[in-house]
Every structure is written in structure tokens, then in C-alpha cells.
Amino acid sequence: MRYFAAAAEVAGREEETFAVDSATVGALQDDLVARYGSGMTRVLRNGSFLVDGVVVRDRARPLGRQVDVLPPFAGG
């Protein structure tokens, strides 16, 4: 897992490695919310969830080796 911006703030770290029981995107997202609370729910609502470099929105999709959580910014 790599966390960016608000995702890193909520997780309190920039990256970590862990094994998951169920290898779907939905299961991992539930696991992240369980670990890091409602802040992570907010991050996941708008942030992109990239599995091996592809943005995935379907919770049923299988996981890969690397997941990036990248929130969008609007500020200029």
C-alpha cells in the first residue's frame, strides 16, 4: 500500500505492506476503514484507488501487488 496526501495523514504513514484474507478491492477497502476509521472512508470516497497502476472502482475486482491511494486536489 502507498498512501498519498490526505490518505497518508489518515493512515499516519506513507506506505505499508500486509497480507489480506480476501483478495478483492472491496475487502481491502473495508479492511482499511477498519484500521483507520471514518477518515479513510472520506479519503476513499473521492480518492483514486489504483491497483498496479489502474484506477479500480469495482469492489469485486481482484487485487494485485501494489495499491496506491491518491486523493485529487483542485487548488491552483
Partner 1 sequence: MPAAPDPARFARQLVLPGLGLDGQGRIAAARVLVLGAGGLGSAVLPVLASGGVGTLGIVDDDVVELSNLHRQTLHTAADVGRRKVDSTAERLTPLATGTLRLHAVRFTKENARDIAADYDLVVDGSDNFETRYLANDTAVAAGIPLVWGAVSQFGGHVGAVIPGAGPDYRDLFPVQPDPSSVLSCAEGGVLPSVCGVIGSLMATEVLKILTGLGRPLSGRVTSYDGLSGRFREVEFRADTDAAERDAVEAVAGDAAPASVATSAPAAVPASAPAPPSASASTSASASASEEEPVTAQPDAGQPDEITARELDDLLTDGAPVQLVDVREPWEAEIASLPGSKLLPLGTLADRVDELDPATTVVVYCHHGARSDRARNLLRSAGLPVSHLQGGIDAWSRTVDPSLPRY
Footprint on this chain of partner 1 (rule: CB under 8 A): 2, 4-5, 8, 14, 42, 45-46, 48, 50, 53-57, 68, 70-76
Going edge to edge, which strands form the sheet with 54-55? 2-3, 67-70, 48-51, 54-55
Nearest to partner 1 of 21, 76 (CB atom) = 76
Nearest to partner 1 of 21, 43 (CB atom) = 43
In the complex, what is the shortest distance from the CB of residue 16 to partner 1, in angstroms, rounded to a whole number?
Answer: 14
Instruction: Give the Å distances, CA to CA, from 74 to 20, 43, 45, 51, 54.
Output: 33, 15, 16, 23, 21
